[in-house]
Amino acid sequence: MAAGLLLVGPGAQAQLLPGGGIGDAGRIVPGVIDRLEEGVDGAALDRLSPTRLVRQLAAARTARIDALVRAHGDRVELDDRREPARRGVILLTGASEASSRGLRAAGYDITQEAVEGIDLPILRLSVPTGRNLAKALREVRALAPEAQASADNLYFASGRAAAEGSAPLAANPVGGKAVGLIDGGVARHPSLTGGVEQRGFAEGAPRASAHGTAVASLISGNGAIRGAAPGASLLVADVYGNDPAGGGAFAIVRALGWMTARGVRVVTVSLVGPANPLLEGAIRLAREKGVTVVAAVGNDGPAAPPSYPASYSSVLAVTGIDGRGRTLPEAGRALHVDFAAPGADMRAAGLSGGADKVRGTSFAAPLVAGRLFLRGSRDALAAEADRRGKPPVVCGNCRNID
């Protein structure tokens, strides 16, 4: 069965439609979702018992973080919550002059940073040699108790796309309104006919990525891959490049500021990681300027810690479903779930110029963001809901969506 854009209203986490079907939702975004072969990706997960699923997803998350730290210990270390972060960097907001002097006296180098668009002054602290990040965070909080101290935590793509490779970057003139995409870079693709402007916020960025390209096509694809807002212009912030410590909170904050300064009103973030005070504050400031962030809940399973930025109250949190309307068994958890959309049994743009299989909540979030961009407000998006079910389904006057 083909799936189309299916949005589930506030509070939805489990059954999407009576009987588990998706009704005529296949008409909503024609061409985006193609049938995947039976048994690919999701079948193995579906066969696992809930207990085994939880264990395997938890083990996979731990292994991913351990492997990153082992391979790139010169760039990455764990913070005081054992979450991965850029080595030797602490981000501070709200520090007094007296606290800054005390931090310098304690050996911290301090660089003043300013984030455009959201008027957010930041102090970037370099941890003294020989001091680990976890210990340094505790010391900084003691020396600057009035301030908000954050590690530069790392955020990971919340979906599986095709293998990475090299490809030319998409670059078309952007005119008028655009959707913001904070991710990897976006490759040139026949389906991306609208404007695409890209900017790098990491070493080696912008650089085309499979994940960023797939997500972009589900927002604005207008061809063999047809997105939720066909032909919409995109502002793309590559926060990864070729940096093993890419995807950091500071890079995401700077990207969000750039988009806010450019007048973007909808920003998609198909990335997940831990709570981070700096990121939370930046999202709040952007929201006050009219920006809505749409974020995926991740794929670490329902027993994983709440995912961020999806769990922030001002963010629209999106989970994923398969072609039969079932919540993906690996879908993560947020403190709230606002909508759901297809995250499996579909294809998206690939680096080769064709269509590749994708799976994960990463690919649900751009469908919601595209519809929000077209509808203009959360209330208008919610008006697409078919409220016959409990929880309500925002399948959205399916026959009337172009």
CATH number, domain containing residue 268: 3.40.50.200
Percent of the chain residues past pLDDT 90, beyond the cut: 60
Q: What is the DSSP track for 370-393?
A: HHHHHH-SHHHHHTT-BTTSSSPE
> Does one domain contain both 161 and 149?
no
For residue 26, is pLDDT > 70? no
Q: Measured over all CA atoms, what is the biggest interatomic distance in the chain, rounded to whole angstroms?
A: 66
Residue 392 in any domain: the answer is: yes
**Residue that finishes a domain, picked among 125, 153, 181:** 153
Average pLDDT of span 87-95: 97
Residues 149 and 164 in one domain: no
pLDDT at 14: 26
Marked catalytic residue, from 100, 150, 220, 362: 362
Q: Is residue 137 part of a domain?
A: yes
211 is catalytic: yes
Instruction: Report the distance separating Cα 239 and Cα 155, nearest Å.
Output: 10
Whether residues 281 and 366 share a domain: the answer is yes
- Which of 25-34, 285-294, 379-388 ranks highest by mean pLDDT? 285-294
Number of Cβ within 10 Å of residue 54's Cβ equals 16
Segment 47-68 mean pLDDT: 78
Per-residue pLDDT, averaged over 330-343, amounts to 88
Same domain, 321 and 389: yes
Residue 57 lies in a domain: no
Name the pLDDT band for 44 (thresholds 50, 70, 90): low
Q: Model's pTM, two decimal places?
A: 0.86
- The per-residue pLDDT of the chain, averaged, comes to 83
Of 152, 211, 311, 338, catalytic: 211
Pairing type for strands 120-126 and 233-238 reads unpaired
* Among the ranges given (61-65, 133-137, 374-378), the one the predictor scored with the smallest mean pLDDT: 61-65
Least confident of 92-96, 113-117, 154-158, 397-401: 397-401
Confidence band, pLDDT 50/70/90 cuts, at residue 201 = very high
| 68 within a domain of the structure (yes/no) | no
Report the percent of the chain where pLDDT is more than 70. 82
Are residues 314 and 343 both part of a single domain?
Answer: yes
β 120-126/76-78 pair status: unpaired
Q: Is residue 61 part of a domain?
A: no
Confidence grade of residue 46 (pLDDT, cut at 50, 70, 90): low
Q: How many domains does the chain have?
A: 2
Please, what's the b/e burial string for 97-127 (b: 16 or more CB within 10 A of its CB; e: otherwise)?
eebbebbeeeebeeeeeebebbebebbbbeb
Least confident residue range of 6-10, 304-308, 377-381 = 6-10
Q: Which of the following is catalytic: 41, 183, 300, 386?
A: 183
Instruction: Report the alpha-carbon distance of residue 372 to residue 265 in Å, rounded.
Output: 10
Asked if 237 and 315 sit in the same domain, the reply is yes
Nearest CA among 320, 322, 297, 326 for reference residue 15? 326
**pLDDT beyond 80 at 163:** no
Instruction: Report how far apart the first and last C-alpha atoms of the chain are (Å, whole number).
Output: 20
Range of the domain at 341: 7-44+156-400
293 located within any domain = yes
**Token duo for residue 30:** 């024609």
Mean pLDDT of 297-305: 87
> Do residues 82 and 205 both lie within one domain?
no
Which string of DSSP letters, residue by residue, matches 110-142? EEEEEETTTTEEEEEEEPPTT--HHHHHHHHHH
Round to whole Å and give the CA distance between 78 and 83.
5
Which residue has better confidence, 348 or 1? Answer: 348
Last residue of a domain, one of 112, 134, 153: 153
Q: In terms of domains, do 379 and 261 share one?
A: yes
Residue 188 has pLDDT above 80, yes or no: yes
Q: Is the pLDDT of residue 37 over 90?
A: no
94 and 214 assigned to the same domain: no
